[in-house]
Structure formats: structure tokens, C-alpha cells
Amino acid sequence: MPYGPWKKKNKATKEHLVANEEVSGGHAGAGSLGKSAVNGAGLPPPPANLRPKLVFHTQLAHGSPTGRIEGFTNVKELYAKIADAFNISPPEILFCTLNTHKIDMEKLLGGQIGLEDFIFAHIKGVKKEVEVHKSEDALGLTITDNGAGYAFIKRIREGSVADEVKVISVGDHIECINGRNIVGTRHYEVARMLKDLPRNKSFTLKLVEPMKAFDMLEPRSKGGKPGNDNKIGTGRSTLRLRSKGPATVEDEPTEFDEKAIKNVDDLLESYMGIRDTELAATMVEVGRDKKNPDEFAMALDDTLGDFAFPDEFVFDVWGAIGDAKQGRL
């Protein structure tokens, strides 16, 4: 395994919108709950008529009628369906939260959607530019991305350099660093770029904050606390979205899954300055039946070779998965 630095090798219609539903009243409906028998790793999306017939309800987070969407198999297709329902462009969508219209990073849509979940789409709002003096090596930002090319801020560490710059907020999309457009850049690359900026120098960020409703204009959030439980979905089954291959309907995550995914996500933040539950879930899935760290490392290289994870990180992830199996987490 090549260990080393983190580097990559239409108009809205009546059938889309349900009138007179309030933002606070979201509950999703689901169609057939039959599980998909397809193991989609590396396979192209199936034809539309073979995808799970599931219907989800959605709203724009700042306020809108309720839309109904179905027939998507990954995050990009989900954004396209939401955009079509509300007659907006897919690139207007920054990220989605589940069961809340607030910018709550613990409710961020990741790789799984509970079949009872209501989807709120946060779209682009005010653009802003800020100059930051990097007085310490670490800025105190945790970065994630929306699965469709936008990196954004998931957490701001209290007392950090970024915390002192009050215009920077959780949920802000990072559009440019020192004039360089980074749209399409993965979260781990953005985190590395910020880390590599020279200390005791100033740099500029161009940010785009999510559009807010009046009841969302409140004191700045620091994002979710690392120790909070972040259960995936609210129903007994979830729709698993994959970056490669079709979506599948799966049982609700087990206690082992939740503990292992959370701890791997914590390790991603500690080592790489990112949080990504989909990536963490993939790593747990890869390591579930592996017998030793070397076997796990080889499987990671096959599945996620673009990341070239450091040696120490791989061993810590292997240990976290093993601890979860034995109920020690």
C-alpha cells in the first residue's frame, strides 16, 4: 500500500410539489422496502426501473413547499432531483440535513438516509470574503464535502484562529483560497491546502454561506461536538448511497456499526482534518471480516487507493474496528 501524504492518485410541477406544508412538519413517506440484492461496488447505476421505488419528501431549508423525489442512486442524482422539484440549478445546493431545516452538522446527510427521513436542502446564500492571519499552525477548522464538489466547514474549534474570525461560520462553503477556485476539490485536499499555508502570514478565503430563514438568524454555531452520538437515520431501514454503484436498502446500522463509524470518523478528523461518515462506513465495511492489519491495509488500498492513508492511521482504524467488535468503544 503506497503510504504517504494524503493525495489522490425544469419547471416545478404538481407531481413534484405538495402545497401548504410547513418547514417544521417534515416526515418522509417510503414506497416498497424490498432490499436490493445488488452489490454495487464498481458497477454503473442500474436502469431507473430497477432502482428501489422509494419516495422521500424534501423542502428548501430556508422555506418552500414540500417536494417529492424518487429514483436517485447517489448524492449527485439526489441533488438533481431536488433541483428539478424546485426549479433551481443543482450547483445551487450546498448540502442537505435530515429532519431539521437548521444548519446542524450532526444531522448532515451522508451516505445513508433513513426511509422515514425528511430531506432539507440548503442552497447558496450570501458570498463573503475574509482575510485571516495564520498565527498558529492549525486553523481549528474541520472540513467535509457534499459529495458533489463543494467543501464546507463542519466544525470550528473553540479558541482557535478561525474561531476569532467571526465572519467564518459552520456550513460555509469554501469557494476560493488565496484566489484559487477549489470547487471540485475533495475535503482532504482542502484540509491539506489550509494546513500547508505558511504560519504568521495572512491569506484570503472566499466563502458562500447557506441561505437562512428568519428563524435561523441566531448566534454562530461551532458545529457538533465530537462526543455526540450521531445515529444514522430514524427508521428501521436506510437507503445507502454509494459513490460507486447503485443505492441499496439496508437494515438500520447496528450498535457495532454506529460505534465503529463514529470512532473512524473521529480518527479522520484527528489525522486529516475532515469528517466523512460515508468514508468511515466504507472503511468499517472493508475491515469487518479482515483477520490482521496487513490484510486490512491491502483491502483499503484496493477500495480507497486514492487516499494513500498513512501507516499509523491504518493501524489505529484497524484497532478501532476491533474494539467495536469486542464492545470496548
Q: What is the pLDDT of residues 180-238, one digit of tens each?
A: 999 999 999 999 999 999 999 999 999 999 998 765 545 555 565 544 444 444 445 77
Q: Would you say residue 23 has pLDDT above 90? A: no
> Residue 122: which of 153, 143, 164 has the closest Cα?
153
Confidence (pLDDT) at 224? 56
pLDDT in tens, 50-81: 555 789 999 999 999 999 999 988 899 999 99
pLDDT in tens, 92-151: 999 999 999 999 999 999 878 888 899 999 999 999 999 999 999 999 999 999 989 999
**Whole-angstrom distance, CA of residue 293 vs CA of residue 295:** 5
What 3-state DSSP class applies to 260?
helix
Q: Would you say residue 322 has pLDDT above 50? A: yes
Distances (CA, A) of 175 to 88, 121, 130, 204, 264: 20, 19, 12, 11, 27
Confidence (pLDDT) at 80? 96
| Domains of the chain, residue spans | 55-210, 253-326
Confidence (pLDDT) at 124? 97
- 10 Å Cβ neighbour count for 3? 13
Distances (CA, A) of 196 to 44, 113, 158, 186, 192: 36, 35, 21, 16, 6
Q: Would you say residue 13 has pLDDT above 60? A: no
Q: What is the mean pLDDT of residues 3-7?
A: 41
Q: Would you say residue 7 has pLDDT above 50? A: no
What 3-state DSSP class applies to 187?
helix
Distances (CA, A) of 44 to 34, 275, 306: 20, 26, 19
> Residue 88: which of 55, 58, 60, 128 has the closest Cα?
60
**Whole-angstrom distance, CA of residue 90 vs CA of residue 80:** 5
Confidence (pLDDT) at 221? 59
Q: Would you say residue 245 has pLDDT above 90? A: no
**Residue 112 β-bridge partners:** 240
Q: Would you say residue 39 has pLDDT above 90? A: no
What 3-state DSSP class applies to 266?
helix
**Residue 60 is placed in which grid cell?**
428548501
Length of the chain: 329
pTM for this entry: 0.70
Confidence (pLDDT) at 155? 94
Confidence (pLDDT) at 2? 39
What CATH number was assigned to the domain covering residues 55-210? 2.30.42.10
CA angle 306, 312, 313 (to 5 degrees): 50
Q: What is the mean pLDDT of the chain?
A: 80
Confidence (pLDDT) at 311? 85
Confidence (pLDDT) at 19? 39
pLDDT in tens, 248-296: 777 777 888 888 888 898 999 888 888 888 888 888 988 888 888 889 9
> Residue 31: which of 56, 54, 63 has the closest Cα?
54
Distances (CA, A) of 177 to 131, 163, 192, 204: 10, 18, 12, 6
Distances (CA, A) of 35 to 39, 162, 251: 11, 44, 9
Distance, CA of 148 to chain centre: 10
Helix intervals (H) in the chain: 75-86, 187-196, 255-272, 277-287, 293-304, 311-325
